């Protein structure tokens, strides 16, 4: 009987496929980390989110 993949494992695998988007989001946040506020990097976050969602559907 195959083992069931835990949700956190699926998330980790999907996130690993989005390193470029994660790096862009991280750079955006760090660029002005003293005044981080909501939606500061919304565009970069949405690209990362879309990538993770697409990768999680694939595998």
Domain extents in the chain: 8-58
CB 54 within 8 A of CB 20: no
For residue 47, the SS3 value is: helix
**Mean confidence (pLDDT) of the chain:** 91
CA 15 to chain centre: 5
Q: Is the dihedral of CA 41, 46, 47, 53 positive or negative?
A: positive
Rounded CA Rg of the chain: 14
- pTM for this structure? 0.81
Q: Please compute the mean of the pLDDT values over residues 5-10 and round it to a whole number.
A: 85
23 pLDDT higher than 80: yes
């Amino acid at each position: 009987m195959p083992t069931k993949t835990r949700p956190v494992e699926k998330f980790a695998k999907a996130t690993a496929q989005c390193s470029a988007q994660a790096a862009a989001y991280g750079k955006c946040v760090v660029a002005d980390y003293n005044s981080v506020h909501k939606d500061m990097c919304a565009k970069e976050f949405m690209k990362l989110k879309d990538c993770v969602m697409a990768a999680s559907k694939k595998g």
